Amino acid sequence: MLYKVRFISNTKAVAKGHCSLTMIPYETKPFSAKGYQRWRNGTLIHTALPELDLDDKEFLMSGISPMGWEMQFEDE
């Protein structure tokens, strides 16, 4: 994992790290700490963390930021 999860309250966390393609820092929006734990334990991410947009979910799953995806597929 190229990111670390930081708890910002008893119930919320953010993930912050470097995009695996661009190495540029990226931080997700706040999300449920319990939902993150459910996802890490096997629940589908869209079920466990419905509050996150697709970009933040993708960053958690692959370590690729929105800018990384744009750079990877800009010619398509």
pTM of the model: 0.90
Q: Is 56 helix (H, G, I), strand (E, B) or coil?
A: helix
Q: Torsion angle of alpha carbons 25, 31, 33, 37, nearest 10°?
A: -80
The per-residue pLDDT for range 24-66, each reduced to its tens digit, is 999 999 999 999 999 999 999 999 999 999 999 999 999 999 9
- Tell me: pLDDT of 75 over 70: no
Structure tokens, 67: 């800018």
- Backbone phi and psi for residue 13, each to the nearest 5 degrees, phi listed first: -145, 165
